[in-house]
Copies of this chain bind each other. A is one copy, B any other.
Amino acid sequence: MQDLLRNIQIRVNEHIYLKDPESSEIGRKMLNESIGMIHELGIEAFTFKKLATALGTTESTIYRYFENKHNLLVYLLAWYWGWLEYEIVLITMNIEDPAERLQKTIESISDPLKGQLRHDLIDLKLLYEIVIAESPKSFLTKEVDVENEIGFFVNYKRICERIVKNIEEIDSSYPFARTLALTIVQCANQHRFFAMHFPNLTEISPQGTGTGTAVFLTDLVLKSLQNNK
Contact = CB atoms under 8 A, between A and B. Distances in A.
A186 to B, nearest CB: 6
A219 B140 contact: no
Contact of A202 (B144, B182, B201): B182
A86 interface: no
B193 A182 contact: no
Contacts of A209: none
Interface string A164-177: 00000000000111
A187 interface: yes
Contact of A45 (B142, B160, B186, B198): B142
A183 interface: yes
Number of copies of chain A assembled together: 2
A197 interface: yes
A11 to B, nearest CB: 20
Contact of A187 (B140, B187, B224): B187
A198 B164 CA distance: 15
Interface of A: 41-42, 44-45, 133-134, 136-137, 139-142, 144-145, 148, 153, 157, 160, 175-183, 186-187, 190-191, 193-194, 197-198, 200-204, 211, 216, 219-220, 223-224, 226-228
24 contacts: A42-B142, A44-B141, A45-B142, A133-B140, A134-B140, A140-B193, A153-B198, A157-B200, A175-B203, A176-B220, A178-B202, A178-B203, A179-B202, A179-B203, A181-B201, A182-B191, A182-B194, A182-B202, A183-B187, A186-B190, A187-B187, A220-B220, A223-B227, A223-B228
